[in-house]
Chains A and B, each alone.
Chain A
Amino acid sequence: MQSVAKREGGVHRGVRAIAVLGILCTLVLGLAHAQERVVVAVQYEANVLDPRMDESFATRNVLELIYAPLVVWNENYEIVPIVARSFEAPDDTTFVFHLREGVLFHDGVELTSEDVKYTYDTMRDPDFGSPRIGPYRIIESIDTPDRYTVVFNLLEPNAAFLTNLHTGIVPKHYVEEHGAEFLGRNPLGAGGFVFVEQRAGEEVRLRAFDDYFEGRPAIDELVLRFIPDRVTRTIELELGGADVMTDVDPQDQSRLQNIASLTVQPYYPAAYCFLAVNVEHDIVGDVRVRRAMAHLLPLEDLAIVGSFEGVPPAYVPMPFESWAFEPNVPRYEYDVEAARALLADAGYAEGFEIEMVQLQGGPRAQIAQIIQQSFSQAGIDARITPVQAATGFQRLDAGEFAIQLWCRGVLVDPDRATYPLFHSDQIPPLGQNWVRYVNPALDELLSEGRRVADQEARRVLYSEALNILATDLPYIPVYYQAQIAANSARIENYRFDPSFLYRNLIYATFRE
């Protein structure tokens, strides 16, 4: 009896020893793999986390971490395949995508051509009610010849179509089981990070997806904290309460640069600001008047006030990082005498009075005052009317403006930067040719640019188009809007991308 009891005691001791050892091992391993947590301070709160439903920048920034798209574009706006392994255009209305094999959704189900078809078919279905339906109306049909091939058949040629395929792919099986509304609250994609929770007004929590097809992210936990006030965001960054911020106040730049624990990266989002000129207007409809106004803009100063030192002045209505950017266009150096001469030639030697509508936000109020001051040197008396975005757009749609100062966000493809704004078939209400510009030569170039798929051939076309625009000046460029980002120095290999702000956190690593 005694020996049995003793042996039982021995067994207990053994179990205990193993348990202690186990706990120790866990502790040691746990310490070795300390959880890497990164907090991003964001200005706006994300809404519905269904990529088909929301195109707001704030929401997209979260979506691009959870969902994987067919393609994205790089900093020069060249298309980079992601879920697609490769793609080709056998003719000018067909795009064929070959998908990677073994791309998994967060629930372990493989992403196939059916999911791609489902994502875009629902989005272009008017009954689904996606606010993003616009660019997908030109899809005639989507075929899936096999599990890893998707074919988009278009109604008409559109070389810019590829830049509309950055939408995250949603899992068909999941949406069909739970419904679209459920997906919006409980997103599930094939992207680098798995959704954990969304706390309204506070934060979105994500964790690394172990089976992410491009390799598991180094960041274990990613938190997007919603801090609306910029001063507070900056303070949290300095205190270490946040690791990433993408809109540092230029005034804080040098101070943050002197903090060793931070890396400051200026970056250039594809936004540019300009004076849109109503070419049907009695006075500014005259191209000589528009050129005179262009001569009166101190572009170098405007670039510094609008953005900060080092940002190049704007000459064409296209971001300078674009592959289609053309620097060799007519330029209007700051020259009051030249401006006066042009105005006299047009019959306005004494100048004139005009309303300048200014879209509120950013440094535009200050910019408008500088322009007003500058215009007055040649006798142009510009009255500034600040308006909210919605009012500004109403006036643009109705053509009730002479000149309007505003900015345009990310425009990836040169087609999207030009066609909807300047082609004569885009005059409101059908499109965004708010300035009512009509030029058959330009129409021809823009239509051709949409038809041709070859990038080099398109570059030549858009070079010519930009020259026409710089000559006729329906938009007078004012400045590029650039922003500064900063992040904790322990994060490495994180390149800010103007179009996909946080997506590159998937590839970020940590300093040893």
Chain B
Amino acid sequence: MLRYVFGRLVQMVPTLFGVTFLVFMLIFIVPGDPARLIAPEGASAAEVERLRVSMGLDRPVLVQYWDWVTGVLRGDWGMSLYRRAPVLPQLIERLPATLELVIVSVALSVLVSIPLGVASALKRNSFVDNSTRVVTLFGLAMPNFWVGIMLILVFAYYLRWFPATGRGSWQHLVLPALTLGTSMMAEMTRIMRSTMLEVTHADYVRTARAKGLRELTVVYKHALRNALIAVTTVIGLQLGARLGGAVVVEQVFAYPGIGRLAYQSMVQQDIPLMMGALLLFALLFMIINLVVDLVYSLIDPRITYG
């Protein structure tokens, strides 16, 4: 088991290199000039050039990438061009806010979608099933930012139940977490429903029924447990995807997390900050995937990592 984890961690290194290298190259292919954006409005081309040299942006791209990589290996993630402050502390400062948002939204989705998916599958073609299918289709189709604005309009503006923006109390989390969780809730409910349908027709479930087990035992001990494996994969993938979704949701709700920092860094072409946020996202994504793989073995004893 430990050897497996270690092996997976080693595998992350080339992947991280690949991801960061690709993005670094992309940044330089995309037109734009951070020096021009940072220079005051009255700056002449000559002054912008001076600024570019002082920021080290005039050097070859590969040299800049190498400097960045060796810096990261030494624990120095660089200085933000705009904020003139080290990148790593800024990311760490914002990390808890984003993790809080992502975890709450995933937890919310799990709590809603698993019972709903099971109910939908067991009472197939009932009113519950049909309305669930319509609502989840809607949830999948709606873009994040639109859902966010609608939730603000209804629950913050008209009903005044929750604050529209900011962070601090649990009330602040409700709307952004719901927004971030909508598509995940919808997708998981549908997957839960379909795998439950599949599993309830499997041989072992028929056997369990034939043995004369109570229906509840059949559903929860035999069917659900097997269906959960598929859902676990989705949770893992969705956790990663939520990090991306946080970029949009944090923007709408003025939520002070990494997503918004990443967004701003892109708008401002703040390369070190952008790269830092990307590296952190990539790391988190890979760690989540590893954890999901390990969780499989808890749910399904047949899966072991030798």
Residues in chain A within 8 A of chain B (CB atoms): 45, 47-48, 53, 55, 129, 131-135, 181, 184-185, 199-202, 225-229, 231-232, 235-236, 238-239, 241, 387-391, 393-394, 397, 408-409, 416, 420, 426, 428-432
Q: Say whether B36 contacts A241, CB under 8 Å.
A: no
Q: Say whether A416 contacts B157, CB under 8 Å.
A: no
User: Which A residues touch B224, using CB under 8 A?
Assistant: none
A–B pairs, 26, beta carbons within 8 Å: A45-B264, A47-B82, A47-B83, A55-B41, A131-B51, A134-B43, A200-B261, A201-B256, A201-B257, A202-B167, A228-B260, A229-B252, A232-B152, A236-B164, A236-B165, A239-B156, A239-B157, A241-B164, A390-B36, A408-B41, A416-B42, A420-B44, A428-B45, A430-B44, A430-B46, A431-B44
State the 10 A-B residue pairs at the shortest beta-carbon distance, nearest first: A201-B256, A429-B45, A390-B32, A55-B40, A227-B254, A390-B33, A397-B45, A391-B31, A202-B256, A429-B46
User: Which A residues touch B251, using CB under 8 A?
Assistant: 228-229
Q: Given contacts A202-B166, A393-B36, could you give 15 more A-B pairs where the C-beta distance is less than 8 Å? A: A48-B83, A132-B40, A134-B47, A200-B93, A228-B254, A231-B149, A232-B253, A232-B254, A241-B164, A241-B165, A388-B31, A390-B37, A397-B48, A409-B41, A432-B42
Q: Say whether A232 contacts B42, CB under 8 Å.
A: no
Chain B min CB distance to A319 (Å): 14
Residue of A nearest to B261 (CB): A201
* Count, A-B residue pairs, CB within 8 A: 121
Residue B84 contacts which of A184, A391, A394 (CB distance < 8 angstroms)? A184
Known: A201-B94, A228-B254. A131 touches B84 (CB 8 A): no
Candidate in A201, A236, A409 with the most chain B CB atoms within 10 angstroms: A201
Q: Say whether A227 contacts B165, CB under 8 Å.
A: yes
How many B residues face the partner with a CB closer than 8 A? 49
Q: Say whether A394 contacts B36, CB under 8 Å.
A: yes
How far is B97's CA from A8's CA once the two chains are assembled, in angstroms?
56
User: Which B residues touch A199, using CB under 8 A?
Assistant: 256
Chain B min CB distance to A39 (Å): 10
The answer, yes or no, to whether B194 is at the interface (CB within 8 Å) is no
Residues in chain B within 8 A of chain A (CB atoms): 31-34, 36-49, 51, 54, 82-85, 90, 93-94, 97, 149, 152-153, 156-157, 160, 163-167, 251-254, 256-257, 260-261, 264, 269
Q: Say whether B84 contacts A53, CB under 8 Å.
A: yes
Q: Say whether A131 contacts B40, CB under 8 Å.
A: yes
How far is B251's CA from A45's CA once the two chains are assembled, in angstroms?
12
How far is B270's CA from A48's CA once the two chains are assembled, in angstroms?
14
User: Which A residues touch B94, using CB under 8 A?
Assistant: 200-201
How far is B43's CA from A388's CA once the two chains are assembled, in angstroms?
17
User: Which A residues touch B93, using CB under 8 A?
Assistant: 200
Q: Say whether B156 contacts A394, CB under 8 Å.
A: no
User: Which A residues touch B269, using CB under 8 A?
Assistant: 390
Chain B min CB distance to A165 (Å): 15
How far is B42's CA from A408's CA once the two chains are assembled, in angstroms?
10
User: Which A residues touch B90, using CB under 8 A?
Assistant: 200
Chain A min CB distance to B167 (Å): 7
Residue of B nearest to A409 (CB): B41
How far is B40's CA from A416's CA once the two chains are assembled, in angstroms?
13
User: Which A residues touch B40, using CB under 8 A?
Assistant: 55, 131-132, 134
How far is B48's CA from A250's CA once the two chains are assembled, in angstroms?
35
Residue of B nearest to A231 (CB): B149
How far is B256's CA from A416's CA once the two chains are assembled, in angstroms?
38
User: Which B residues touch A408, using CB under 8 A?
Assistant: 41
Residue of B nearest to A392 (CB): B36
Residue of B nearest to A387 (CB): B31
Q: Say whether A238 contacts B157, CB under 8 Å.
A: yes
User: Which A residues touch B38, using CB under 8 A?
Assistant: 131
